[in-house]
Amino acid sequence: MRTTIEIDDTLLAKALQLSKIKTQKAVVEVALRLFIQVESQKKLSDYWGKIQLDEEAFK
């Protein structure tokens, strides 16, 4: 999907520098994937200690 957004130049430059990713598009995609992963993990943490796991199933 093509879209136009304004991104802070300093943030984008720092992300490019730290990640060694070559394109702005790739940096944004990696950032979005990471955001989704973190938010998904937050939702999973809501279930911590509330679900009983069958430990035998993981052996």
In whole angstroms, give the CA distance from residue 30 to residue 28: 5
pTM, full prediction: 0.69
Confidence of residue 33 (pLDDT cuts 50, 70, 90): very high
Is the pLDDT at 38 greater than 80? The verdict is yes
pLDDT tens digits, one per residue of 5-25: 999 999 999 999 999 999 999
- Residue 36: predicted pLDDT: 95
Say what the pLDDT of residue 22 is: 94
Domain boundaries, given as residue ranges, for the chain: 16-45
